[in-house]
């Protein structure tokens, strides 16, 4: 084999939560891998975003037929859509059983052996960062030397699942080429964000660091990307911004970093370079509340920041710092919201209900903060999700929220709680709060303007009822919703 033909694909997903977001950014991870592959060897690379194309099986077969790949790399990042990844793998093998099917992403990184056991059509799982692993993997395939020396993969050998040692994290992120957005129909994404006073503007996603030094119980980032935050230099970051503005017409940059201000000094240097080069660009990012001050926020605003996301998660100090392990003070939240209001920045705050051991009184502390601030903040509210690889997953198994026989490879699991239409098909953590109490918390937020009416979602809600337990939960939610709605009407009329 003189060279390898590599098809990288995002599978078409029927996951309701993705549809409800209404936006689909370019596939950043595949863009990085594609550009990196093109720096070594004589390999041909194609990116096919079946989610963007709303691809049918027949569409995917036509892509396979026209490109004739030797290797198909499939995104297996999202837990809610992992079965769409499995379906894509089966399509590839039906088309050509000799094609290598490689799956990577956060979900399969933690569930590598289960993914191979559940889906025999998958040949190889890439764990963690894909760039250097794919380089070693393609060299092994090209030279037919076998896979035993390729670090960071899990695969089959003689019908046995083999887990090779991890690949070290990439230390110098500046060494990575920019994502290969020229390999996708960039103009078809219509990825936009509303900027106050400017309307909907074309946007693009970008990552300037990998890793997280913190340890929130519901998050797998520190395990997946590492606790040591590896950062691109300010010069490298701003050079990519210039490219995205000049070549792709971006007016908004959405920084995908878990904590953009993990190093406040670097954040300030990025702002300085944006201002120095007079880049006409707006941007949004996620920050850690206790690592920011008003002078830094003022400079970020001057450099184009218009939308800032940060997590308080819970109003209760016990839940926030002892259970979630967030280790932030509510005073930092109040200060940051005030600074955002003074500077004209939109504060988007993350809140979560139904934490382990959370009582009704403690949950009330969270909803009171949301109601106190009203439309002065964007409140992003969720019921606590359980994801593979997280500390919360261990807690859920220990407390039997996830039953003894639980497996991520079983599609329809009757002993757990999910809300596919609203929250994605991922297990929810339910401990001390009753389902009626959880429903009341969510609807008190939504009725205050958090989400649009639930009525357009009713057909999808009904189609996702899988068990008597689902029916009872939706019945309780309907009763709580109507009760709160009627109460709200009487309060307004009175």
Domain map (residue ranges) of the chain: 5-163, 191-493
Q: Residue 71: pLDDT above 50? A: yes
Residue 195 scores a pLDDT above 90: yes
Tell me which residue of 122, 112, 61, 44 sits closest to 86, measured CA to CA. 122
One CATH from 3.80.30.20, 3.40.50.300, 1.10.357.10, 2.40.30.170 for 191-493: 3.80.30.20
Alpha-carbon span 334 to 332, nearest angstrom: 6
Residue with tokens 């929250």: 423
**Angstrom distance (rounded) from CA 286 to CA 311:** 9
> Residue for token digits 């004739």?
68
Is residue 47 scored above 90 in pLDDT?
yes
pTM score? 0.92
Q: CA-CA distance, 127 to 153, in Å (whole number)?
A: 6
Candidates 210, 137, 135, 224; CA nearest to 170 is 210
Confidence of residue 112 (pLDDT cuts 50, 70, 90): very high
| Mean pLDDT within 139-147 | 91
Phi, psi of 426, deg, nearest 5: -135, 140
For residues 435 and 454, the model is more confident at: 435
The pLDDT assigned to 342 comes to 98
Q: Per-residue b/e over 281-290, b at no fewer than 16 CB within 10 Å?
A: bbbbbbbbbb
CA gap 53, 12 in Å, rounded: 8
Rounded CA separation 381/311 (Å) = 10
Return d(Cα 438, Cα 162) in angstroms, integer.
Answer: 43
Can you give the pLDDT at residue 490? 73
**268 closest CA partner among 295, 236, 288:** 295
* CA atoms of 88 and 185, how far apart (whole Å): 21
Q: pLDDT digit string (tens) for 210-228?
A: 999 899 999 988 888 888 9
Is pLDDT of 3 > 70? yes
What pLDDT is recorded for position 222? 84
pLDDT at 23 > cutoff 70:
no
Helices (H), 56-170: 57-67, 82-95, 106-110, 112-118, 131-143
Per the prediction, the chain carries an average pLDDT of 90
Q: What pLDDT was estimated at residue 19?
A: 45
pLDDT digit string, tens, across residues 294-320: 999 999 999 999 999 999 999 999 999
100-104 and 71-75: which strand pairing?
parallel
Work out the pLDDT band at 16, boundaries 50, 70, 90: very low
Give percent helix, percent strand, percent coil of the chain, each to the nearest 5: 45, 15, 35
pLDDT, average across residues 118-146? 94
Instruction: Check residue 17 and give its pLDDT.
Output: 44
8 Å CB contact between 155 and 125: yes
Mean pLDDT of all residues in 248-270: 96
Residues of the chain above pLDDT 70, percent = 92
Dihedral, CA of residue 432, residue 434, residue 439 and residue 441, to nearest 10: -40
pLDDT at 85 over 50: yes
For residue 20, the model assigns a pLDDT of 41
pLDDT for 457: 59
| Four-way CATH pick for 5-163: 3.30.70.1520, 3.40.50.2300, 3.30.70.1350, 3.40.50.12160 | 3.40.50.2300
The residue assigned the tokens 């090779």 is: 164
Partners of 253 in beta bridges: 204, 283
Q: Is 354 left (phi over 0), alpha (psi -120 to 50) or beta?
A: left
Going by pLDDT thresholds of 50, 70 and 90, the confidence category of residue 190 is: confident
For the cut 70, the answer to whether the pLDDT of residue 117 exceeds it is yes
Per-residue pLDDT tens over the stretch 397-446: 999 999 888 888 776 566 788 887 666 678 999 999 999 999 999 988 87
Mark out the alpha helices in 96-233 (DSSP H runs).
106-110, 112-118, 131-143, 221-224
**Range with the lowest mean pLDDT among 148-152, 188-192, 417-421?**
417-421
Q: Do domains 5-163 and 191-493 have the same CATH topology?
A: no
Task: Tell me the three state secondary structure of residue 328.
Answer: coil
144, 145, 149, 154: CA torsion to nearest 10: 40
Residue 330 has pLDDT above 50, yes or no: yes
35 phi and psi angles, rounded to 5 deg: -65, -35
Tell me the sheet residues that pair with 323: none
Q: What pLDDT is recorded for position 408?
A: 84
Q: Reply yes or no on whether the pLDDT at 455 is more than 60.
A: no
Which run of H or E residues covers position 32? helix 28-37
Given a contact cutoff of 8 angstroms between Cβ atoms, the answer to whether 260 and 208 are in contact is yes
| In the chain, % of residues over pLDDT 90 | 72
Q: Would the pLDDT of 470 be above 90?
A: no
| Collapsed DSSP state (helix, strand, coil) of residue 254 | strand
Closest among 60, 53, 113 to 89, alpha carbons compared: 60
3-state secondary structure of 263: coil
Whether the predicted pLDDT of 21 surpasses 50: no
């Amino acid at each position: 084999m003189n060279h390898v033909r590599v098809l990288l694909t995002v599978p078409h997903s029927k996951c309701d939560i993705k549809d409800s977001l209404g936006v689909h950014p370019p596939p950043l991870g595949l863009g990085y891998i594609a550009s990196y592959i093109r720096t070594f060897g004589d390999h041909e690379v194609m990116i096919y975003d079946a989610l963007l194309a709303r691809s049918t099986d027949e569409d995917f077969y036509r892509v396979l037929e026209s490109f004739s790949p030797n290797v198909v790399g499939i995104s297996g990042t999202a837990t809610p859509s992992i079965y769409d990844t499995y379906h894509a793998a089966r399509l590839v093998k039906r088309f050509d059983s000799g094609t290598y099917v490689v799956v990577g992403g956060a979900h399969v990184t933690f569930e590598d052996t289960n993914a191979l056991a559940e889906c025999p059509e998958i040949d190889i799982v890439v764990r963690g960062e894909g760039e250097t692993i794919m380089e070693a993997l393609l060299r092994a395939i090209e030279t037919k030397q076998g896979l035993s020396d390729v670090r960071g993969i899990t695969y089959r050998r003689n019908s046995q699942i083999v887990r090779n040692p991890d690949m070290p994290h990439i230390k110098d992120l500046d060494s990575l080429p920019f994502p290969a957005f020229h390999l996708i129909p960039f103009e078809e994404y219509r990825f936009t964000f509303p900027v106050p006073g400017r309307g909907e503007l074309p946007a693009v996603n970008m990552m300037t660091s990998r890793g997280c030094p913190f340890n929130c119980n519901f998050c797998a980032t520190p395990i997946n990307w590492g606790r040591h935050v590896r950062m691109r230099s300010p010069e490298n970051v701003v050079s990519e911004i210039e490219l995205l503005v000049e070549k792709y017409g971006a007016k908004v940059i959405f920084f995908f970093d878990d904590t953009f201000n993990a190093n406040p000094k670097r954040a300030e240097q990025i702002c300085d370079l944006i201002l120095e080069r007079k880049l006409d660009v707006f941007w949004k990012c996620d920050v850690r509340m206790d690592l920011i001050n008003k002078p830094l926020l003022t400079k970020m605003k001057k450099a184009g920041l218009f939308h800032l996301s940060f997590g308080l998660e819970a109003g209760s100090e016990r839940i926030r710092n002892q259970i979630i392990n967030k280790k932030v003070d509510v005073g930092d939240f109040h200060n940051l919201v005030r600074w955002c209001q003074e500077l004209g920045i939109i504060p988007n705050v993350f809140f979560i209900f139904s934490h382990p051991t959370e009582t009704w009184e403690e949950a009330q502390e969270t909803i009171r903060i949301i109601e106190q601030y009203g439309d002065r903040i964007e409140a992003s509210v969720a019921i606590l999700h359980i994801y593979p690889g997280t500390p919360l997953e261990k807690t859920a198994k220990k407390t039997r929220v996830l039953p003894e026989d639980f497996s991520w490879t079983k599609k329809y699991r009757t002993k757990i709680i999910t809300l596919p239409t609203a929250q994605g098909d991922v297990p929810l953590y339910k401990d001390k709060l009753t389902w009626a109490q959880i429903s009341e918390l969510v609807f008190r937020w939504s009725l205050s303007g958090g989400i649009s009416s639930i009525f357009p979602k009713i057909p999808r809600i009904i189609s996702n009822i899988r068990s008597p337990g689902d029916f009872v939960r939706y019945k309780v939610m309907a009763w709580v919703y109507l009760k709160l709605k009627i109460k709200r009407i009487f309060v307004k009329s009175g």
